[in-house]
Amino acid sequence: MKKKFTPKLVAGALAGMMMTGAAQADTWRYAFEEAITDVQGVYATKFKEEIEKNSDHEVQLFPYGTLGESADIMEQAQAGILQFVDQSPGFTGALIPEAQVFFVPYILPTETEALNEFFRTSKAINEDFKDLYAQHGLELLTMFPEGEVAMTTQEPVKKPEDLDGVKFRVMTNPLLVETYQAFGATPTPLPWGEVYGALQTNIIQGQENPAFFLESTKMYEVTDVITFAGHSNFVTAVMANKDFYDGLSADEQQLIQNATDVAFEYILEYQKGLSDESIAKIQDAKPDMVVNVLTEEERAPFKAAAEKVEAKFIEMTGDTGKAILDQLKADVAAVTE
């Protein structure tokens, strides 16, 4: 599972392959954090199909494991070695602290249609975050949800006390550390490549991810209990290198926007029923895997922790974070009321 990457060498080789300017390149490189058959890979494949169907450009896809960890591909996209990158806010916290807002527990709608409509219409995402990403040389193309996040652990988790003493892997995101601290666990930030091995060797005893990812990465082999507490949906973001994007003609920018929109709707449709199907596959592969969906009553203490995490988010991000948080809440209210 654990792979040894040499991202600097890979980046060097890619830079050598680059043509004189990214804007003239007819092959565009797009890296993401998952396998080609996972949600980010299905999105990227659709995006590629759309670009190639409607232009002479070719899109070369780099799934997880080909160019390094999430932090490596982001670095390569900022440097213009990659034209496109999918990095989840779970890894963007150090660069854009406001992107951690998605880790305030219970902040997003839980009902699928409302959630999808939120991503389509949110001003926080489609305007405010666009500006923040632009400040870091990134053109934010879209954000989309990848499914309700579930915890996988060795023992059942029915209340925060059950997480006492559990070393729980989180993405490298300071606010997620706060969240799991507030949930009662001992949070351990790790890049993705170290998670399976760390569970296997008992360095950690829990982690969280959406059901499709628990299935495709075989997390069920190294944990025994899945818990749905409804606290978050996995959010991801697709970006282009901003210099590359700004250097394109208006027609080419429109081509990218159209491909983004088509792939966005496609990936929402693709995910209908995916979580249940993935859980069924897990239970087929491991019949004694326990799957618990917490009741409203059981969720209450986890929900209560959200207040503390929200206060921490504001402390970490100041006025810009507070403004984004307020806007995001207004955007959620607009699709749920």
| 133 CB-near residues (< 8 Å, 6+ apart) | 96, 139, 140, 237, 239
Q: Of the listed pieces 10-18, 21-29, 205-213, 284-292, which binds ligand 6CS according to CB under 6 A?
A: 205-213
- Give the nearest distance from C-beta 33 to ligand 6CS in angstroms: 4
**DSSP state letters, 152-180:** EESS--SSGGGGTT-EEEE-S-HHHHHHH
Nearer to ligand 6CS (CB atom), residue 88 or residue 278: 88
Binding ligand 6CS by CB under 6 A: which of 173, 209, 271, 275? 209
State the amino acid at position 143 in one-letter form. Answer: M
- Give the nearest distance from C-beta 156 to ligand 6CS in angstroms: 22
Q: Of the listed pieces 48-56, 209-217, 276-284, 322-330, which binds ligand 6CS according to CB under 6 A?
A: 209-217
Nearer to ligand 6CS (CB atom), residue 33 or residue 50: 33
CA distances from 84 to 35, 55, 59, 60, 251 (A): 16, 17, 9, 10, 18
Binding ligand 6CS by CB under 6 A: which of 11, 85, 141, 171? 171
What is the distance between the alpha carbons of residues 246 and 308, in angstroms, rounded to a whole number? 40
Determine, following the binding rule CB under 6 A, whether residue 97 of this chain makes contact with ligand 6CS: no
Determine, following the binding rule CB under 6 A, whether residue 204 of this chain makes contact with ligand 6CS: no
* Three-class SS state of 60: strand
* Three-class SS state of 124: helix
Long-range contacts of 51-59 (CB under 8 A, 24+ apart): 51/255, 51/256, 51/259, 54/255, 54/258, 54/259, 55/252, 55/255, 56/26, 57/26, 57/27, 57/28, 57/255, 58/26, 58/27, 58/28, 59/27, 59/28, 59/29, 59/30, 59/84
Binding ligand 6CS by CB under 6 A: which of 102, 103, 180, 192? 192
Q: Which residues of 99-115 are buried (b: 16+ CB within 10 A; e: fewer)?
A: bbbbbbbbbbbeebeeb
Q: If residue 108 lies in a helix (H) or strand (E), which one and from where to where?
A: none
- Give the nearest distance from C-beta 287 to ligand 6CS in angstroms: 24
- Give the nearest distance from C-beta 79 to ligand 6CS in angstroms: 20
Q: Is residue 2 within 8 Å of residue 197, measured between CB atoms?
A: yes
What is the distance between the alpha carbons of residues 51 and 257, in angstroms, rounded to a whole number? 10
Determine, following the binding rule CB under 6 A, whether residue 233 of this chain makes contact with ligand 6CS: no
- Give the nearest distance from C-beta 217 to ligand 6CS in angstroms: 8
Binding ligand 6CS by CB under 6 A: which of 11, 22, 31, 33? 33
Nearer to ligand 6CS (CB atom), residue 101 or residue 335: 101
By CB under 6 A, what part of segment 123-152 binds ligand 6CS?
146
Q: Of the listed pieces 206-214, 245-253, 263-271, 314-322, which binds ligand 6CS according to CB under 6 A?
A: 206-214
Determine, following the binding rule CB under 6 A, whether residue 43 of this chain makes contact with ligand 6CS: no
Determine, following the binding rule CB under 6 A, whether residue 234 of this chain makes contact with ligand 6CS: yes
What is the DSSP-derived secondary structure letter of residue 193?
A: G
Determine, following the binding rule CB under 6 A, whether residue 70 of this chain makes contact with ligand 6CS: yes
- Give the nearest distance from C-beta 89 to ligand 6CS in angstroms: 11
Q: Is residue 51 within 8 Å of residue 57, measured between CB atoms?
A: yes
- Give the nearest distance from C-beta 210 to ligand 6CS in angstroms: 5
Nearer to ligand 6CS (CB atom), residue 207 or residue 327: 207
**Residue ranges in contact with ligand 6CS by CB under 6 A:** 33-34, 70, 88, 146, 171, 192, 209-210, 213, 234
